[in-house]
Structure 1
């Protein structure tokens, strides 16, 4: 098992945000974490990667990582693409990508390289030596995903990658997620667009009020009108 989360709790001050989350991801799986805004999906990712203090068990490839520093967890092979598309605006696209390499790692020694990224995303290649501040929203999203991939993670958590993107760019993001899975990388996808998540995911979890209220395949979720109506539909 790539990732196993058991009885995960997390707090913001006195606010009890995660209330016993259980989930797991197998090697090469795309797993979607669904739910309305504010139910704890992003906090789950932050607790796993160590940005929010976790209480409970988080094992990555059999190793307990709960309580470790975020940079130590990343070096173990767990990548994280936050929702806010953090880039270094004063650096070029190429420089941003190079910053994704782990200490001692050389470009081209993993499953991804600068050449691979520029082949996959022609726009990034065309703007390789342009400051990242002038990239479009979709290009910045691609850059954040690609920068994380440059570190050659075995599992990547991606938070709301299609938020605010044009339909054409949404389809590009979906294609990238499929390519990631083809290369044997597990994915935990936090996504608001149900159709995208259902199309590319092997399994889905639905969260409500800080805990998992459904686990199953996309086909099983399609057959659960009660779950969709209570926990997903607006």
Structure 2
């Protein structure tokens, strides 16, 4: 579904991505792991058109490198950025409605689905989103993206800064989404979540892929974990 080949990206003169290759298949959960600053967030931003990409990015067989973000989104690629942007003065329900791309077309997700997936949002559906906790805002941004009916969603650092119990809830939500057959590219630092819900994993270092394999493969590879993941 998503195929990236020889992807390069720059911030000014800094060469951040140095020939990234990766794939995400239909219905597959793929995690992108690595320490801070290795290029994981830049990878998803380049795929989404927020950073100028150099290389090939194919989504559902179509070359999308260089397209504006809104056109990429309309092709069925969803993106949940790490900054948890919500509309603070709108209610939870209104925020979810803002994610709908076509009001005349029924997608695979609706508001009732979203509120059932996360009961905390259901109890606060008519509350202004600005008063939600950090974990609730993260859930809301994920659910709002799903309201646009993407076929693949990229989720960037969803558990960053959250309490352990909320981290578990976010992991459960992503696992529940995956069971619906949605393809997911997850940028994550917490190895426990990635190992639990992923079909495959990539490990990045210095703007390149250093490892690709299954959770079992990564568990068995102590050298990769030590060199590229452990602090």
TM range (shorter): over 0.9
Match of 2:92 in 1: 93
Runs of 4+ in 1 over 3 A off after TM superposition: 103-106
Length-normalised TM-score, structure 1: 0.97
Correspondence 1:170 to 2:141: no
The alignment partner of 1:189 has SS state of strand
In structure 2, do the counterparts of structure 1 residues 83 and 171 end up closer, same or farther at CA, with 3 Å as the change threshold?
same
1:163-196 Cα shifts (integer Å, max 9, x gaps): 1112221111111111111111100000010011
Correspondence 1:49 to 2:48: yes
1:116-141 Cα shifts (integer Å, max 9, x gaps): 11111111111111111100001000
Give the conservation status (yes or no) of the 8 Å contact 2:118–2:173: no
Match of 1:150 in 2: 147
Report the alpha carbon displacement of residue 103 of structure 1 after superposing the two structures with TM.
3.6
More off after superposition, 200-209 vs 111-120? 111-120
Match of 2:201 in 1: 204
Separation in 2, partners of 1:201, 1:123: 25
Match of 2:26 in 1: 27
The alignment partner of 2:211 has SS state of strand
Separation in 2, partners of 1:59, 1:117: 29
Length-normalised TM-score, structure 2: 0.98
Report the alpha carbon displacement of residue 90 of structure 1 after superposing the two structures with TM.
1.3
Structure 1 residue runs without a partner (length 5+):
none
Match of 1:58 in 2: 57
Structure 2 residue runs without a partner (length 5+):
none
Separation in 2, partners of 1:229, 1:120: 36
Match of 1:194 in 2: 191
More off after superposition, 204-213 vs 160-169? 160-169
Match of 2:213 in 1: 216
Separation in 1, partners of 2:150, 2:104: 12
Match of 2:37 in 1: 38
1:141-169 Cα shifts (integer Å, max 9, x gaps): 00000000000100000011111112221
